Structure 1
Amino acid sequence: MAGAGVHLPIVFITGYGDVEMSVKAMKAGAVDFLRKPFRDQDILDAVSDALRRDEARLASDEAMFALRTSYGTLTSREREVMSYVVDGMLNKQVAAILKLSEITVKTHRAQVMRKLACRSLADLVRKAETLGIGSHSCIPSLRQTATPS
């Protein structure tokens, strides 16, 4: 099921399970592994825990979808500015690299913050990290040209 992209919480129940089987089941994505006979409370607890975990996974998936959707509303220039900003560059440095005015960079940066519903730079950096937005620090020439003397 996991290979097919089906994400359902699985409680594995068997009458003939051993340690190796339980390890395989858990590695394959089972939430719990119960060997018969088990108490009624054991299955109730396992199902309750599985549902709690699945609810958290669904909430996380929904938040990620919303973030990706918001990121999709950014223009290519806003994405470019965002990548430099989350890399720690000042507006003045970004402006020099992109050959824009500092006011234009500030405008793009404000649009990014608004569209991604960020309240702070730290919030923007966390969201960029979640999205896997890369760093320009691997391009030393950009760093050197943007560093104030």
Structure 2
Amino acid sequence: MDSLSSGPVADVLANLYIEAERADAPMRESEKSSADPSGDWTTAFIASEKADLRGTYASLATNFLCVSPKFGRHLYMTARASRARLIVEFGTSMGVSTIYAAAALRDNGGGGGGGGGGGDSAAGARIISTELEPSKAERARKNVAAAGLQRRQD
């Protein structure tokens, strides 16, 4: 069994996905109704970033914009399979993908938290996360801590 299947990590992720669905629903509906007929909403988003990077991301402060559970599991399995010891993440948002990555580090034997680790443990394994929006960075820290993974995040 892995950290994603039960315990605090699973509980926190389940709650975050419920919250993300509520928080991101208006944005998804807005994208559908105002989308370019070609379906290329990314062009408008990139133009917005170019005009005002901080403003664009500040306007998304309440949105999760997180990975799906399926992609989160993919991130987790990739980190496990590669026996990752250091993960650098750009754009942590509310910490959903950070939780998957930190859980993989712990499950790889990254030390701490009552786990074993063996001769090839990844003691000292860590994740370095970045986030432009300060309120999201703080929220991510709290979510990672609630999942019991704060010892792995910088």
Tell whether the structures are fold-level matches, with TM greater than 0.5: no
Q: Relative contact order (alpha carbons < 8 A, sep ≥ 6): 1 or 2 greater?
A: 2
Q: TM-score, structure 1 length as denominator?
A: 0.26
Q: TM-score, structure 2 length as denominator?
A: 0.25
The structure with more helix, counted as a fraction of residues? 1
